[in-house]
Amino acid sequence: MINRRAFTASLLAAVPATGFLGKSVLAQTMRDITFVQPSPSAINSFPVFVAIGEGYFAQEGLNVNVEAINGSGAVLQALSAGQAQFGRPGPGPLLAARSRGVDAVHIYNVAARSNFGIAVQDDSDFQSIDQLRGKVIGTGTADGAEVGFARNVMSGAGMTEGQDYEFLTVGDGGPATAAFLNGEIDAYSSSTADTAILNQRGMAVRDITPEEFGRFFGNGIATMADTIANDRALVEAWSRAFAKGHAFALDDANRDKVLGHLADGNPQEGEDKEFQSALFDAVRSKTIPPEGSPHLGWYPAEVWAEWQESLIAGGELSSPLDDLDAAWTNEFAKLGSEAAGG
């Protein structure tokens, strides 16, 4: 299994309009930046890899290095430490980090529809969340977005961690399958991709999350407030390229090229073409904004408020943030969407 992966945008992917410049001149104009994602999957961050493969970042003078680390907490640590300029953390971990003084800001709503759910084995007797009282829920990471989402769902059913249920960090893929088979967990809080992987590996699972939680968006693009204030041109350049990659991937006419870019980003995911295609469809569907959204990457303010309320109810926040609106902005998603023709 790939634990850490780097994929760099090639200088040769620059648009033809720059071709009259010498390679040495082009190389001098390229800026190296780092994007950190909470898992090795290229499909989960597909707009990034498509924007790399199609040369959109190169057009903006950016040479993007992608690093996979373990969970949203680690992504936020890398951003705050200056080890990366952009990342893809979940909203719950971002709000929790802001309560500790980490001035990270979400700038693009990638998983506009909830990409998490609580899954149980397909042949189990569990049919509803309230039946998980007294049970153990597995998670991929200790502080990832799936943890905050599950707390939210369980809180909605009147249950409190440590009293009515327990979390157990088991990892994803094979380790999660083993945890189910060994009886270590009764349910698993997972992303759309994790659920698809379990089913593909023969561990048939089904989602019992109430439909009402579908409005809770998932992981999005984040950067530090200092980067926005002091390096605005970088944030704008990133946003244009990212949105173009997103829009390109949403067009089925580009499907083969998109899957090729994703296989370049994570060869393991590209080994089984049928599974790669199905997983991409599942993940991509969660990035389509709900009806009424003005553009790609748009955040609804009211759902941020609901996220905060759920974190307070779950004990992850002791009180409301001083300025919840400072945690997110639609400005750069709008700019990017306009550049992508949206």
Q: What CATH number corresponds to the domain at position 194?
A: 3.40.190.10
How many CA atoms within 13 Å lie on the side-chain side of 44? 27
Q: What are phi and psi of 32, to 5 degrees?
A: -80, 125
| 173/87 same-domain check | no
Q: Residue 298: which of 111, 93, 58 has the closest Cα?
A: 111
User: Per-residue confidence at 285, pLDDT binned at 50, 70, 90?
Assistant: very high
The pTM of the full predicted model, rounded to 2 decimals, is 0.81
Which segment of 41-50, 94-103, 169-178 scores lowest on mean pLDDT?
A: 169-178
User: Per-residue confidence at 19, pLDDT binned at 50, 70, 90?
Assistant: very low
pLDDT tens across 108-139, in order?
999 999 888 999 999 999 999 999 999 999 99
| 331/201 same-domain check | no
Query: Is 167 inside any structural domain?
Result: yes
DSSP assignment letter at 18: G
| 161/308 same-domain check | no
| 203/221 same-domain check | no
Residue with the two structure tokens 């009147």: 158
User: Per-residue confidence at 28, pLDDT binned at 50, 70, 90?
Assistant: low
Query: Is 198 inside any structural domain?
Result: yes
Query: Is 142 inside any structural domain?
Result: yes
| 182/238 same-domain check | no
pLDDT for the residue 178: 95
Residue 340: which residues within 8 A CB-CB, separation 6 or more? 240, 243, 244, 246, 247, 248, 296
Residue 229: which residues within 8 A CB-CB, separation 6 or more? none
| 127/241 same-domain check | no
pLDDT tens across 205-255, in order?
999 999 888 889 999 999 999 999 999 999 999 999 999 999 999 999 999
pLDDT tens across 151-203, in order?
989 999 999 999 999 999 999 888 999 999 999 999 999 888 888 888 888 89
| 184/150 same-domain check | yes
Residues spanned by the domain of 139: 116-215
pLDDT for the residue 180: 96
| 97/228 same-domain check | yes
| 161/105 same-domain check | no
Query: Is 95 inside any structural domain?
Result: yes
CA distance 320 to 118: 26
| 224/203 same-domain check | no
Determine the 3-state secondary structure of 286 from DSSP.
coil
pLDDT for the residue 207: 94
pLDDT tens across 46-92, in order?
999 999 999 999 999 999 999 999 999 999 999 999 999 999 999 99
| 96/232 same-domain check | yes
| 137/65 same-domain check | no
Domain boundary among 160, 193, 215: 215
Query: Is 6 inside any structural domain?
Result: no
